[in-house]
């Protein structure tokens, strides 16, 4: 009963928050469609008059409203502002807007805020020009599987102007109201009979009595109201307070740069969030705010320079904290190791160049799991701390720690914090829940609470700040103080409490479908990473060893690639418009890379001596080991009858086919192509016959490596390894088996795989066609299947000079809520499988003994997964896939999914990809499976040329390496333009030395961190240098070369 009276008192005060209100009449409005930043298509050049109660805009539409308002003389130089409330009566809306005053962007409005305080520099003016850019959310497709989205998201109502007024707030009542609410909510958390609860209720009841004894007009007397609040605070100042620890409050806003909105809308979200937070910082001297993602800052700098200048001022003051060293908050499962390095390089460089500061916290609250190589990469970029919230989303096993050391695959440890949640408030209840959830409070009595609206930005509200200002010492709760994230982490570092450790990858037990959904984007990402690696290597070689004058910077292309690795783009969890833009972005990314690679290879080609007997063809190998490969040369009818010879005139195994598009294709086996170098062969008329396809082939085939049999469905029923003299498959199984499952997750359609998919098999394949082309370099067995509503065509390639078996696959995918996997049961016994991750690999259990293993029914791997015994194993390689499961003795690769929300057309249509089976003697280390994965993904680049003399020999290596497991992954121009940067990593989990011999003289060499800041000199002898690497260590070396 008493609490009900206090609740009524709160309502009474709420009714008197405004002293005066003036309706703004006759806004001038224009409606249009937002095309891109700064570009709109308006319905008409004429404007409309708009008043309260009028229709504004339908969904997907933008409206500009303008009005010059006259300020009453008695208001001037007093706090006042604009209340602008669009909406739809009885329905929730997702409107957003940016309010500009006197031509300058000032503050955002959205469903969480409708009041805009006017700054001091305009309060004294007689007239103020107001401009509002208002957007009504465009909507998304309805989730017809689980109905997870709300009507405001899939059927946004038209907006009406509910309120558009100048308000003179009753600041004294607002302050008293905030105090009463804070203590009232605290009292509700305390148990009956608690002394603190009793005192709070007594003090609030006395304040209520004083106010209700007077007429309501008394509330306009600010000094009288302030006295009542002051007396209330005094009565509450001696509440019993048991120190439960301390809560450090840090304001923030999580901004998804694309998700249920396109990137162009995220740009406007950044403007609203950044302007609002700047205004709150101006109005609240104790408030602190943290913001991540350099890309978001770039958006504001380019499109809203006046907001950017405000942000820079607050950063310089130390109250706007930059966090998160990566360019965006990316996915941490699928990008390559080098992509993650570039996220850090470009992100940290931006912060330093723009603000003179660099964060020491990696800020990844919403990413869907974290690879085990990340701690080393963060530490190597000067990042000391790691923050996330996502591990609290596990669907099976609660993550055991909040404050801990995360130990990566190489042994690097980073202090890590798992925040309680995202988009949090600051009410006493949130503080209590946050503190109660804190698992390490006994080890360290300080916790950080990140508050503020997010996902679509918005950030902190004034109400959140008001609660913090009154929560310093509340009974039953930890003390509360404004702080920064860096202060939180630094205090832990200095206190050095005993904290637990988590070792290995942080696998998120959720969103497992993101390894597969929107397969085209994943393919483009892999291809772009390959292209940029090659482009940088060859441009560096051309500049340093062929005297070429090239512009080799790919920074713009890299940043566009990194943006598309954002954690809601590459995982496949965004709306269709995001992927239309992403496809256009990738075309631009490829154009950048192909131009740089073309110019570099062209410059090298001109310097290579190609004189010989026949038409010269140069084969460029960007990998750091000598490779032998069957290369493909495509051209017109002039290739018919051609064969290939090497420098010594020896004929190379060559096959010729005519493709369906009419082009001719030569397959040539070329041994010993030099590492980071090239080899030249010559084509000449050798009377080679064009190989024709045979349609009647039976169900068995034999090569020098294998005996293969397949069943009536075209699935492999037997694979005998002739070199190892053992069966690869168990008896009675089918391999290369396409398995189709119904896939209806209970939530998060595009994100999740139904945990029950294994028990929900769908249709099987029906073999339609088969044929074979037998050659001297490879035999190609062709199959075509019908699978439900889809068709699959596949070339099964058996090489004559390699044990790798390729499955070159084309799919016309027309399914709904289905999951397609390919399975290879193998005759290998092991309780663990190995999966490649960025710059390393991890082992995962093949059994389901515990709930932790059961939860990992789908995991991420890069170019390979391997199942090995002590002396034999089988690897499943791929050129663009990421979702694997390996249980018992079955290797499976996820190929395609068919979710319908938030993109109803996700993955529909044509797909082309290759996966490969690689049986091998020894385990994956002895078989150098890492290199086999590179070879599949980095085919030799073939350049046809003319015969000419050159300063470079016809066969040459620019960088020779002596190492078995160390991979020279990256060769590029240094960031400062002074030399050549090499990035290497140990790939097997062992210790190894590597020796490097450059094509030119090395003047000096330094080991650097990932940001290429010099750390130690490396001894150089002429053209040679060497280095030692620890297990899975990533090392960066900067070379100064002679000109």
Asked if 506 and 406 count as a contact pair (C-beta separation under 8 A), the reply is yes
CATH topology of domain 241-509: 7-stranded beta/alpha barrel (3.20.110)
- To 5 degrees, how large is the angle CA 223–CA 165–CA 118? 60
Residue range 261-288: average pLDDT? Answer: 98
**Would you say residue 146 has pLDDT above 80?**
yes
User: 239: which residues sit within 8 A by CB, 6+ positions away?
Assistant: 196, 199, 200, 473, 474, 475
- CA 896 – CA 515 distance, rounded (Å): 10
HEC profile of 193-255: CCHHHHHHHHHHHHHHHHHHCCCHHHHHCHHHHHHHHHHHHHHHCCCCCCCCCEEEEEEECCE
Instruction: Label residue 551 by pLDDT band (50, 70, 90).
Output: confident
Please give the pLDDT value at position 2: 86
Distance CA 203, CA 210 (A): 11
- What fold is seen in the domain 957-1043? Immunoglobulin-like (2.60.40)
Mean pLDDT of 591-608: 97
Q: How far is CA 297 from the centre of its chain?
A: 17
Active-site residue among 110, 143, 366, 969?
Answer: 366
pLDDT recorded at residue 965? 97
Task: Flag whether pLDDT at 950 surpasses 70.
Answer: yes
Asked if 923 and 585 touch (Cβ cutoff 8 Å), the reply is: no
Residue 216 contacts residue 416 (beta carbons within 8 Å) = no
Is the separation of the CB atoms in 497 and 417 below 8 Å?
A: no
pLDDT at residue 243 above 80?
A: no
Q: Could you tell me if 47 and 196 are in contact, meaning their C-beta atoms sit under 8 angstroms apart?
A: no
Using CA atoms, how far residue 698 sits from 710, 731, 770, 806, in Å, is 9, 20, 10, 20
| Section 43-60 average pLDDT | 96
Catalytic (active site) residue 366: yes
pLDDT at 38: 95
Residue 552 has pLDDT above 70, yes or no: no
At residue 61, the pLDDT reads: 98
pLDDT tens figures, 75-113: 998 999 999 999 999 999 999 999 999 999 999 999 999
Structure tokens at 512: 């497992």
CATH class of 701-937: mainly beta
Determine contact, residues 594/285, Cβ cutoff 8 Å: no
Please say if the pLDDT value at position 689 is more than 90: no
pLDDT above 80 (res 242)? no
Question: What is the side-by-side strand order in the sheet with 1034-1041?
Answer: 966-973, 980-986, 1034-1041, 1002-1008, 1014-1018
Both structure tokens of 338:
């080098």
**Both tokens assigned to 946:** 């003319």
pLDDT tens digits, residue range 468-504?
Answer: 999 999 999 999 999 999 999 999 999 999 999 999 9
What is the DSSP pairing of strand 104-110 with strand 96-101?
Answer: antiparallel
The top-scoring range by mean pLDDT among 196-200, 689-693, 816-820 is 816-820
What CATH number does the domain located at 516-614 have? 1.20.1270.50
Contacts of 66 (CB under 8 A, 6+ apart): 27, 28, 29, 47, 129, 130, 131, 132
Indicate whether 280 pLDDT > 70. yes
Residue extents of the structural domains in the chain: 2-14+172-240, 18-169, 241-509, 516-614, 629-670, 701-937, 957-1043
DSSP state of 336: -
Instruction: Please report the pLDDT score of residue 241 as a whole number.
Output: 75
Rounded to whole angstroms, the maximal C-alpha distance in the chain is 111
831 contact partners, CB below 8 Å, separation of at least 6: 845, 846, 847
pLDDT value for 502: 98
Does the domain at residues 18-169 carry the CATH identifier 2.60.120? Answer: yes
Exposure string (b/e) for 289-323, b if CB count within 10 Å is 16 or more?
Answer: bbbbbbbbbbbbbebbeebbebbbebbeeebbbbb
User: How far, CA to CA in Å, does 42 sit from each of 27, 67, 304?
Assistant: 17, 19, 21
The predicted structure's pLDDT at residue 691: 84
For residue 902, say if its preceding peptide bond is cis, omega within 30 degrees of 0.
yes
Percent of the chain at pLDDT exceeding 90: 95
- Apex CA 824: angle with CA 862 and CA 892, to 5°? 40
pLDDT band at 694 (very low <50, low <70, confident <90, very high): confident
Name which of 128-132, 516-520, 683-687, 866-870 the model is least confident about.
Answer: 683-687
Residues 385-432 have pLDDT tens digits of: 999 999 999 999 999 999 999 999 999 999 999 999 888 999 999 999
Q: What is the pLDDT of residue 359?
A: 98
Residue-wise pLDDT for 414-423, tens only, equals: 999 999 988 8
What tens digit of pLDDT does each residue of 811-828 get? Answer: 999 999 999 999 999 999
Query: What is the predicted pLDDT for the residue at 841?
Result: 98
Question: CATH topology of 18-169 equal to that of 957-1043?
Answer: no
Q: What is the mean pLDDT of the chain?
A: 97
């Amino acid at each position: 009963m008493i609490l009900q009276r206090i609740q009524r008192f709160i309502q009474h005060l709420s009714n008197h928050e405004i002293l005066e209100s003036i309706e703004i009449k006759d806004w001038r409005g224009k409606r249009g469609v937002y095309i891109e930043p700064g570009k709109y298509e308006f319905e008409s050049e004429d404007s409309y008059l708009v008043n309260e109660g009028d229709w504004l805009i339908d969904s997907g539409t933008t409206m500009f409203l303008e009005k010059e308002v006259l300020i009453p003389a008695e208001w001037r130089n007093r706090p006042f502002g604009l209340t602008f409330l669009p909406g739809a009566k009885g329905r929730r809306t997702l409107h957003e807007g940016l309010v500009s005053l006197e031509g300058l962007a000032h503050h955002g409005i959205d469903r969480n805020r409708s009041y805009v305080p006017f700054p001091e520099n305009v309060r004294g003016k007689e007239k103020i020009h107001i401009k509002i850019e208002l957007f009504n959310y465009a909507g998304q497709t309805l989730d017809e599987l689980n109905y997870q989205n709300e009507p405001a998201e899939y059927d946004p109502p038209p907006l009406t102007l509910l309120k558009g007024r100048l308000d003179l707030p009753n600041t004294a009542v607002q302050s008293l109201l905030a105090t009463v609410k804070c203590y009232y909510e605290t009292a509700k958390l305390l148990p009956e009979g608690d002394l603190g609860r009793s005192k709070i209720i007594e003090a609030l009841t006395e304040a209520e009595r004083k106010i209700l004894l007077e007429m309501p007009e008394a509330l306009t007397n600010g000094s009288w109201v302030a006295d009542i609040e002051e007396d209330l605070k005094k009565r509450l100042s001696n509440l019993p307070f048991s120190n439960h620890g301390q809560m450090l409050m840090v304001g923030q806003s999580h901004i998804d740069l694309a998700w249920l909105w396109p990137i162009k809308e995220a740009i406007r979200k950044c403007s609203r969030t950044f302007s609002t937070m700047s205004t709150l910082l101006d109005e609240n001297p104790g408030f602190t705010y943290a913001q991540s993602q350099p890309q978001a800052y770039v958006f504001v700098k380019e499109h809203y320079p006046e907001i950017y200048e405000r942000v820079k001022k607050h950063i310089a003051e130390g109250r706007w904290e930059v966090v998160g060293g990566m360019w965006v908050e990316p996915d941490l499962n699928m990008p390559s190791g080098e992509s993650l390095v570039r996220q850090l390089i470009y992100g940290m460089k931006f912060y330093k160049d723009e603000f003179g500061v660099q964060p020491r916290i990696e800020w990844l609250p919403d990413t869907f799991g974290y690879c085990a190589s990340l701690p080393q990469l963060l530490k190597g970029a000067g990042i000391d701390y790691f923050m996330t919230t996502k591990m609290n989303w596990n669907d099976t096993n609660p993550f055991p720690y909040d404050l801990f050391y995360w130990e990566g695959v190489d042994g690097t440890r980073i202090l890590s914090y798992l925040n309680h949640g995202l988009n949090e408030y600051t009410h006493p209840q949130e503080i209590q829940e946050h503190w109660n959830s804190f698992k390490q409070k006994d080890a360290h009595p300080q916790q950080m609470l990140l508050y503020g609206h997010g996902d679509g930005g918005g950030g902190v509200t004034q109400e959140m700040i008001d609660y913090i200002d009154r929560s310093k010492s509340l009974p039953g709760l930890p003390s509360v103080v404004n702080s920064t994230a860096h202060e939180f982490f630094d205090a832990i570092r200095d206190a050095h409490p005993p904290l637990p450790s988590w070792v290995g990858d942080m696998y998120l037990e959720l969103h497992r479908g993101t390894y597969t959904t929107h397969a085209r984007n994943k393919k483009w990402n892999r291809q772009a990473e390959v292209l940029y690696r090659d482009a940088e290597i060859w441009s560096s070689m051309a500049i340093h060893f062929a005297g070429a004058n090239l512009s080799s910077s790919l920074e713009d292309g890299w940043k566009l690639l990194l943006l598309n690795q954002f954690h809601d783009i590459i995982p496949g969890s965004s709306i269709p418009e995001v992927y239309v833009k992403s496809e256009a972005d990738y075309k631009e990314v490829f154009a950048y890379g192909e131009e740089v690679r073309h110019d570099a290879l062209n410059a090298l080609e001109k310097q290579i001596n190609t004189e010989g007997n026949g038409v010269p063809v140069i084969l460029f190998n960007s990998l750091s080991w000598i490779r032998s490969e069957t290369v493909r040369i495509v051209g017109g009818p002039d290739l018919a009858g051609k064969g290939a010879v090497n420098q010594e005139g020896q004929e190379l195994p060559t096959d010729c086919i005519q493709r369906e598009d009419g082009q001719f294709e030569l397959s040539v086996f070329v041994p010993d192509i030099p590492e980071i170098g090239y080899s030249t062969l010559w084509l000449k008329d050798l009377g080679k016959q064009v190989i024709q396809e045979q349609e009647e082939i039976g169900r068995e085939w034999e090569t020098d490596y294998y005996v293969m049999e397949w069943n009536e469905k075209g699935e492999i029923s037997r694979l005998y390894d002739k070199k190892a003299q053992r069966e690869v498959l168990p008896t009675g199984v089918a391999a290369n088996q396409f398995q189709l499952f119904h896939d209806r997750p209970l939530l998060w359609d595009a994100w999740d795989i139904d945990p029950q998919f294994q028990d929900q098999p769908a249709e099987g394949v029906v073999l339609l066609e088969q044929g074979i082309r037998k050659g001297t370099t490879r035999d190609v067995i062709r199959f075509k299947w019908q699978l439900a509503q889809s068709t699959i065509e596949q070339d099964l390639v058996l090489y004559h000079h390699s044990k790798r078996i390729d499955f070159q696959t084309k799919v016309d995918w027309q399914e709904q809520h289905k999951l397609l996997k390919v399975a290879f049961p193998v005759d290998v016994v092991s309780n663990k499988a190995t999966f490649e991750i960025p710059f390393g690999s991890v082992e995962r259990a093949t059994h389901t003994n515990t709930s932790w293993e059961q939860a990992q029914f789908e995991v991420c791997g890069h170019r390979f997964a391997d199942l090995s015994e002590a002396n034999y194993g089988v690897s499943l390689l791929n050129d663009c896939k990421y979702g694997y499961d390996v249980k018992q003795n079955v290797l499976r690769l996820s190929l395609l999914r068919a979710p319908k929300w938030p993109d109803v057309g996700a993955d529909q249509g044509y797909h082309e990809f290759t996966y490969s089976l690689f049986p091998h003697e020894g385990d994956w280390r002895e078989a150098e499976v890492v290199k086999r994965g590179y070879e599949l993904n980095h085919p030799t680049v073939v350049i046809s040329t003319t015969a000419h003399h050159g300063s470079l020999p016809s066969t040459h290596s620019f960088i020779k390496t002596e190492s078995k497991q160390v991979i020279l992954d990256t060769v590029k121009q240094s960031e400062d333009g002074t030399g050549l940067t090499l990035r290497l990593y140990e790939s097997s989990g062992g210790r190894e030395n590597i020796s490097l011999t450059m094509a030119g003289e090395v003047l000096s060499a330094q080991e650097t961190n990932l940001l290429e800041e010099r750390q130690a000199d490396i001894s150089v002898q002429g053209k040679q240098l060497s280095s030692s690497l620890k297990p899975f260590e990533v090392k960066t070396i900067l070379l100064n070369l002679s000109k």
